[in-house]
Chains A and B, each alone.
Chain A
Amino acid sequence: MNGGDGGEVTAAPPAGPPPPLEWKFSQVFGERTAGEEVQEVDIISAIEFDKTGDHLATGDRGGRVVLFERTDMKEHGGSRRDIERMDYPVSRHPEFRYKTEFQSHEPEFDYLKSLEIEEKINKIRWCQTANGALFLLSTNDKTIKFWKVQEKKVKKISEMNIDPSKVVGNGSASSSTVSSSPKPYLANGAYPDRSYSCLNNDMTFPPGGIPSLRLPVVVTSTETSLVARCRRVYAHAHDYHINSISNNSDGETFISADDLRINLWNLEISNQSFNIVDVKPANMEDLTEVITSAEFHPTHCNMLAYSSSKGSIRLIDLRQSALCDSHSKLFEEQEAPGSRSFFTEIIASISDIKFAKDGRYILSRDYMTLKLWDINMDSGPVATFQVHEYLRPKLCDLYENDSIFDKFECCLSGDGLRVATGSYSNLFRVFGCATGSTEAATLEASKNPMRRQVQTPTRPSRSLSSSITRVVRRGAESPGVDANGNSFDFTTKLLHLAWHPVENSIACAAANSLYMYYA
């Protein structure tokens, strides 16, 4: 553990809500050295913890998926369950190590539409583990893939009936290292020249069998290798770009959402999916609203929510009908009269939604705010957190350089007490959402996350004028952050982040680097 204790906690915790967290740097993967240029393909485009929090997956623009595994619990021996049962003091924080990586998607070209299909991983979702293997879904703009990652013991064949070296001249002899040269057998597996016809069932063998024949001897070594295999490919179901995938709690289905449609798949059936939401108007000129994100309820298999570019969240009930074009609940905030401007609709667009673990709350992120909704209350959000209100005067610039269309993700802590989302200048913000909580922290994705809040004389251009280290006024910006407007760097944006499912630990992506923090 190193670094990251620059922040002093000054705000005294109120009696009711949990005390504010003190965030510390934990780890960084793929840290950039000074002056190093970031390769476009290395930029992380998706982050996801699995359900237990023992694994973390990232996807990048180069179509790769990188897996990390937790290391801080395994050292104590015993099974994971035992440790969890033990009243083990949580003095250690989650630490991860690189596990493996694989190429999930490759660049493709759609010849019918003359469109390039990027390999960029848009979303990763973990599936149910089985038999010690990890399963996950990854998607780019068009194609979803189901991956199995498993440790395999290296096996070698040591003995055979026929010495492979002696039959090389025979062409199609078996050997443990078969070449990949054109296969000498026919498609059905029968040999064209060396016929098996003598092996028909009429062939008689002595009753005791033939002693000279033996089975290949397989030696299992202690070496293991991680193998990632693509088990299924769910393709050709989306006309537009896929923005979300989400597993159902029933363990057998998942959804994929693009700009206009949401499809329902069975994990085991890759050649067929059902369209459950279709917002495409008959005439594309009437299009006013697109789907931006969709997620299944964490426990109710029949419920899912999707967000739109107009800032609304719709809850649909799959039980009602096969095609769920009519929502069962609509969550949207009435705009304040008179406040409408050219940008109102653009900044209202929701870039990400997440269900809280208990399924009661939905967190949404639009350009300016984080909003927390109670699914039992559709009149308005139960809480709104200003993420970068200070940018409001600059919307024009942001529009011109397209930054206003950046899609920031959001996440909730496993206990549902806090929410987090990213911002510019590699900053991310954490808010307390328990009743009465005033927690609001701004952190920088660097080895010193609290740098933002303290005077850092070494880097005056980024210094903050305010001396308070933690902003205690709920929902307010730290007033000094934008004292110097151009200290915000719109090219370094922190779009992707994920909260560990059971501990206060956040993984976030700054360009090609994965930073991990704990509290």
Chain B
Amino acid sequence: MAMIDEPLYPIAVLIDELKNEDIQLRLNSIRRLSTIARALGEERTRKELIPFLSENNDDDDEVLLAMAEELGVFVPYVGGVEHANVLLPPLEGLCSVEETCVRDKAVESLCRIGSQMREADLLEFFIPLVKRLAAGEWFTARVSSCGLFHIAYPSASETLRNELRTIYSQLCQDDMPMVRRAAATNLGKFAATVEPAHLKTDIMSMFEDLTQDDQDSVRLLAVEDCAALGKHLEPQDCVAHILPVIVNFSQDKSWRVRYMVANQLYELCEAVGPEATRTDLVPAYVRLLRDNEAEVRIAAAGKVTKFCRILSPELAVQHVLPCVKELSSDSSQHVRSALASVIMGMAPVLGKDATIEQLLPIFLSLLKDEFPDVRLNIISKLDQVNQVIGIDLLSQSLLPAIVELAEDRHWRVRLAIIEYIPLLASQLGVGFFDDKLGALCMQWLKDKVFSIRDAAATNVKRLAEEFGPEWAMQHIIPQVLDMINDPHYLYRMTILHAISLLAPVMGSEVTCSKLLPVIVETAKDRVPNIKFNVAKVLQSLVPIVDQPVVEKTIRPCLVELSEDPDVDVRYFANQGLQAIEQVMMSS
């Protein structure tokens, strides 16, 4: 055993723990691999540490994942770019483990290293590695290889490039669907590095193979390739080769493929350009909006606004709007919900008249939807609504919906609406808020569900922040303080919580004059839970109020509580007193 000097002890332990039986310790050591590397020096890192890691790649996935990640940023520790190639062997091993996330990370790290490597090194080390992986016995290695071609290709010679393209095309036809999926996923990246001449021939024929794959799971990944390839093709080639594929995909037998088209629609439109979008993709999109499968309609509905933005208003009104009308009364609540979350954005596209005439009825019907999510989605985009239809119309139709949601029997719905209240308040302004919503905010403080009361207290604070202390003095503080005498101790507790949140917003003066007396009064409550919460609140007030107030009011009150028969009350009271001492000491 080597003698280890005292200062080196921690690093020695760290190194030893690379092989500890406890996974947490191994993980810890791997995460500090750079420290170990620096302690060993660059040369020994290259000659000992990296080979050591290559040999020990049968560890738990968590450790391997961490190793794959660390090695990606390891170039400086092995002596810079000229030695980067020593990092390839351990990562190559990690590229064929069966856990996908480890492989993905290893590929990511290899790409990162490969993009720094010198051209000669890429030729000597990186490209052979890609070829080895692509010819791997197990599908795992072949899957990983697909993600490396775009790094290898640019520095390859003409013949080598031919070879790489051939290999990739074989991967696109691999027996294993997993490999074909990986090839489809990475085709766009690879295509970006391929010369235009080969792009039109080789890559397009691989793409064609993938688009006709038997496996839905492969075809649906080819949908993404449409957009990616489209970016690298000339517009006319794009229309000639990509557009028919998209149109076909939009009528694919498999709903999952159609779903992908609906989901990728915007990117696909960008790929083929506005002209082809208008002529060919509008009918395709309309079909998707009327698809049999709700999942497809959900995806399509979510893209309504983005799609309409590329179209002229006339086309949008003529083709898309009728579908939108149908969707607003779709049988699937999720479709309506998806529509509700984007439909507001259509207003600027259609212009004011069309909006009032066509969109408003849809909007109002969604606002009255029986499904809370739909209503919430509309309300959350209220700023856009406001701009379009104006506050009066809005308040007429909006208010009943909000009130209804505020009293929904599902507490999660109530919670969601409470969280929107400050936003609503800022959008609607003080006047509107006072009339209609103020009472609701107070009502929530007495909700049956704790989470709602808790959220209500936070809401009150945020309102005070939004409208300022003066407004709060009038509209919040009196009402809140009123409720401190509620017969139910849980409600009194909520009020205490609200007060503690309000105090920092209201400032020292209001706190001393209005809030503190109430709290001190509450310290005489008969319920211990209230009393120790008083102690906690008092402690939180110490930094807010002035020194004399602490001495005159807070301390005596805490002292009194510290003699309470209840142990918890005494505990928190003493905590408060200690906090006061600390503030005294530091000031």
A162 touches B43 (CB 8 A): no
B52 touches A215 (CB 8 A): yes
Q: Which of A133, A175, A252, A299 contacts B217 (CB 8 A)?
A: A252
B73 to chain A minimum Cβ distance, whole angstroms, is: 13
Contacts A199-B10, A199-B32; is A161 near B2 (CB within 8 Å)? yes
Interface presence of A284 (CB below 8 A): no
B44 to chain A minimum Cβ distance, whole angstroms, is: 5
Chain B interface helix/strand/loop/mixed: helix
Interface-located stretch among B20-28, B120-128, B438-446, B486-494: B20-28
Q: Which of B4, B25, B295 contacts A322 (CB 8 A)?
A: B295
Interface presence of B437 (CB below 8 A): no
B139 touches A130 (CB 8 A): yes
- Point out the residues of chain B lying under 8 angstroms from A131, CB to CB: 96-98, 138, 140
Give residues 224-255 of A contacting B (CB, 8 Å).
Answer: 249-253
A-B CB contact pairs (8 Å), 10 listed: A128-B139, A131-B97, A161-B4, A174-B20, A198-B7, A207-B41, A209-B42, A214-B15, A251-B177, A322-B295
Interface presence of B255 (CB below 8 A): yes
Complex CA gap A135/B140 in Å reads 14
A185 touches B24 (CB 8 A): yes
B15 touches A250 (CB 8 A): no
B216 touches A301 (CB 8 A): yes
Interface presence of B17 (CB below 8 A): yes
A319 touches B253 (CB 8 A): yes
- Seed contacts A268-B100, A302-B216; 18 additional CB < 8 Å A-B pairs: A131-B138, A135-B98, A152-B58, A160-B19, A177-B21, A178-B21, A185-B25, A189-B28, A205-B41, A210-B39, A212-B3, A215-B48, A216-B19, A218-B56, A251-B178, A252-B177, A252-B181, A319-B216
Interface presence of B55 (CB below 8 A): yes
- Point out the residues of chain B lying under 8 angstroms from A218, CB to CB: 19, 52, 55-56
A216 touches B15 (CB 8 A): yes
Q: Give 8 closest A-B pairs by Cβ, nearest first.
A: A209-B41, A319-B254, A161-B12, A189-B28, A163-B1, A174-B16, A216-B19, A130-B98
A208 touches B43 (CB 8 A): yes
B5 touches A212 (CB 8 A): yes
A189 touches B216 (CB 8 A): no
B5 to chain A minimum Cβ distance, whole angstroms, is: 7
- Point out the residues of chain A lying under 8 angstroms from B45, CB to CB: 209
Interface presence of A115 (CB below 8 A): no
Q: Which of A160, A177, A210 contacts B16 (CB 8 A)?
A: A160
B138 touches A130 (CB 8 A): yes
Chain A interface residues toward B at CB < 8 A: 128-133, 135, 148, 152, 157, 159-163, 166, 173-178, 183, 185, 189-190, 194, 196, 198-199, 201, 203, 205-210, 212-216, 218, 249-253, 268, 299-302, 318-322
Q: Which of B3, B16, B178 contacts A252 (CB 8 A)?
A: B178
- Point out the residues of chain A lying under 8 angstroms from B22, CB to CB: 178, 183
- Point out the residues of chain A lying under 8 angstroms from B27, CB to CB: 189
Q: Mark B382-404, 1 if CB is under 8 A from A, else 0.
A: 00000000000000000000000
Which of A148, A196, A213 has the most chain B CB atoms inside 10 A of its CB?
A213
Complex CA gap A299/B25 in Å reads 45
- Point out the residues of chain B lying under 8 angstroms from A157, CB to CB: 19
B248 to chain A minimum Cβ distance, whole angstroms, is: 14
Query: Which residue of A is nearest B291, CB measured?
Result: A321
Q: What number of residue pairs across chains A and B have CB atoms under 8 A from each other?
A: 172
Q: Mark B207-240, 1 if CB is under 8 A from A, else 0.
A: 0000000111100000000000000000000000
Complex CA gap A166/B3 in Å reads 11
Q: Which of B8, B19, B178 contacts A213 (CB 8 A)?
A: B8
- Point out the residues of chain B lying under 8 angstroms from A321, CB to CB: 255, 292-294
- Point out the residues of chain A lying under 8 angstroms from B323, CB to CB: none
B300 to chain A minimum Cβ distance, whole angstroms, is: 14
A197 to chain B minimum Cβ distance, whole angstroms, is: 9
Interface presence of B40 (CB below 8 A): yes
Complex CA gap A177/B22 in Å reads 9
Complex CA gap A132/B8 in Å reads 41
B182 to chain A minimum Cβ distance, whole angstroms, is: 11
A11 to chain B minimum Cβ distance, whole angstroms, is: 41
Complex CA gap A152/B485 in Å reads 70
Q: Which of B24, B98, B139 contacts A183 (CB 8 A)?
A: B24
Complex CA gap A207/B215 in Å reads 55
A251 touches B176 (CB 8 A): yes
- Point out the residues of chain A lying under 8 angstroms from B16, CB to CB: 160-162, 174, 216
A220 to chain B minimum Cβ distance, whole angstroms, is: 8
B555 to chain A minimum Cβ distance, whole angstroms, is: 36
B12 touches A320 (CB 8 A): no
B216 to chain A minimum Cβ distance, whole angstroms, is: 6
Contacts A161-B4, A174-B17, A199-B35; is A250 near B25 (CB within 8 Å)? no
Interface presence of B38 (CB below 8 A): yes
Contacts A173-B13, A215-B18; is A201 near B293 (CB within 8 Å)? no
Complex CA gap A210/B5 in Å reads 11
Interface presence of B366 (CB below 8 A): no
B36 to chain A minimum Cβ distance, whole angstroms, is: 8
- Point out the residues of chain B lying under 8 angstroms from A301, CB to CB: 177, 214-217
Complex CA gap A464/B423 in Å reads 87
- Point out the residues of chain B lying under 8 angstroms from A189, CB to CB: 24-25, 27-28
- Point out the residues of chain B lying under 8 angstroms from A148, CB to CB: 98
B96 to chain A minimum Cβ distance, whole angstroms, is: 6
Complex CA gap A190/B39 in Å reads 20
Interface presence of B460 (CB below 8 A): no
- Point out the residues of chain A lying under 8 angstroms from B21, CB to CB: 176-178
- Point out the residues of chain B lying under 8 angstroms from A129, CB to CB: 138
Interface presence of B557 (CB below 8 A): no
Interface presence of B11 (CB below 8 A): yes
Query: Which residue of B is nearest A161, CB measured?
Result: B12
Contacts A148-B98, A161-B2, A198-B10; is A213 near B40 (CB within 8 Å)? yes
Interface presence of B49 (CB below 8 A): yes
Complex CA gap A253/B495 in Å reads 52
B423 to chain A minimum Cβ distance, whole angstroms, is: 31
Contacts A215-B52, A321-B255; is A130 near B140 (CB within 8 Å)? yes
Give residues 295-323 of B contacting A (CB, 8 Å).
Answer: 295
- Point out the residues of chain A lying under 8 angstroms from B253, CB to CB: 319
B140 touches A209 (CB 8 A): no
Complex CA gap A212/B8 in Å reads 9
- Point out the residues of chain B lying under 8 angstroms from A319, CB to CB: 216, 252-256
Query: Which residue of B is nearest A220, CB measured?
Result: B55
Q: Which of A135, A203, A210 contacts B41 (CB 8 A)?
A: A210
Complex CA gap A194/B15 in Å reads 15
- Point out the residues of chain B lying under 8 angstroms from A185, CB to CB: 24-25
Complex CA gap A273/B265 in Å reads 26
A250 to chain B minimum Cβ distance, whole angstroms, is: 5
B231 to chain A minimum Cβ distance, whole angstroms, is: 28
A134 to chain B minimum Cβ distance, whole angstroms, is: 11
Query: Which residue of A is nearest B35, CB measured?
Result: A199
B221 to chain A minimum Cβ distance, whole angstroms, is: 12
A352 to chain B minimum Cβ distance, whole angstroms, is: 27
Contacts A130-B140, A322-B255; is A209 near B43 (CB within 8 Å)? yes
A255 to chain B minimum Cβ distance, whole angstroms, is: 15
- Point out the residues of chain B lying under 8 angstroms from A128, CB to CB: 139, 176, 178
B33 to chain A minimum Cβ distance, whole angstroms, is: 12
Query: Which residue of A is nearest B294, CB measured?
Result: A322
Complex CA gap A140/B25 in Å reads 35
B452 to chain A minimum Cβ distance, whole angstroms, is: 26
- Point out the residues of chain A lying under 8 angstroms from B254, CB to CB: 302, 318-319
A174 touches B178 (CB 8 A): no
Interface presence of B14 (CB below 8 A): yes
Q: Which of B13, B32, B100, B181 contacts A162 (CB 8 A)?
A: B13
B15 to chain A minimum Cβ distance, whole angstroms, is: 6
- Point out the residues of chain A lying under 8 angstroms from B13, CB to CB: 161-162, 173-174, 194
Complex CA gap A503/B39 in Å reads 59
A186 to chain B minimum Cβ distance, whole angstroms, is: 10
Query: Which residue of A is nearest B253, CB measured?
Result: A319
Complex CA gap A318/B98 in Å reads 27
